[in-house]
Amino acid sequence: MKKFIIVIAVAMSLTLSGCKDHTVQEPSEITQENEIETIAESIANTEYDSIEDFLQNSNATVFMMDSKQPYNNVATNSNAANSNATTFNAIDKNVSDSQSYISIIYECEVNDDTFKVDLSTFKTSEGAEQLAYVVDSNPGIFTEVNISGISAYYCPGSEYDWFDCYAMIINKKLVVIDIEKGYDTYIEDVLNNIVLQ
């Protein structure tokens, strides 16, 4: 529900514009415009079966989790085979490419814990303005937190939601991380595995 609020709020902020002059259009022109908009929207709202499929068919930049690089949350040790190291694996599920953001759902494994992460990258580079609008439009919902030196806004999901939400700016883009409830202790692991593709 919280992500829905964020997505709607951001979408509204992106689509607000000044008034424009209106001209009378013929019915055939209206039909043709509707067809073009429908085609454009269907292209922009696409589901991909895998990250590989998405990367082959899209030139959009997106934040992804680098599942090939194990994350070691233990203090740096010269012994690379530290038995206390936490291995972080992410198995991609699908990618949703919408008009305003790209969302990737991962199933993650840390030690014996398995949980889901939904990572959304918003397409514009006006992340600071988008985040400010979302936070200001939902007073009292977000709490500012610091994760690995990155300032983020935390929004706990309700008892009916499957996730807790973290919204932040990385490389001027608004990034939203939804992590399955009960697994917030791994949010730093998730963030340390994010790469821009």
CATH of the domain at 159: 3.40.1000
Tell the residue number behind the tokens 């009378």, with chain if given: 24
- The SS3 call for residue 189 is helix
Query: What is the tally of structural domains in the chain?
Result: 1
Whole-angstrom Cα distance, residue 59 to residue 57? 7
Q: Is residue 152 domain-resident? A: yes
State the residue range of the domain holding 65: 2-13+46-74+85-196
List, for residues 67-82, the tens digit of each pLDDT value. Answer: 655 444 433 333 344 4
List, for residues 95-153, the tens digit of each pLDDT value. Answer: 999 989 999 999 998 888 899 999 999 999 999 999 999 999 999 999 999 998 999 99
Host H or E run for residue 154: strand 150-155
Q: What is the DSSP string of 37-52?
A: HHHHHHHHSEEESSHH
Q: Is residue 179 domain-resident? A: yes
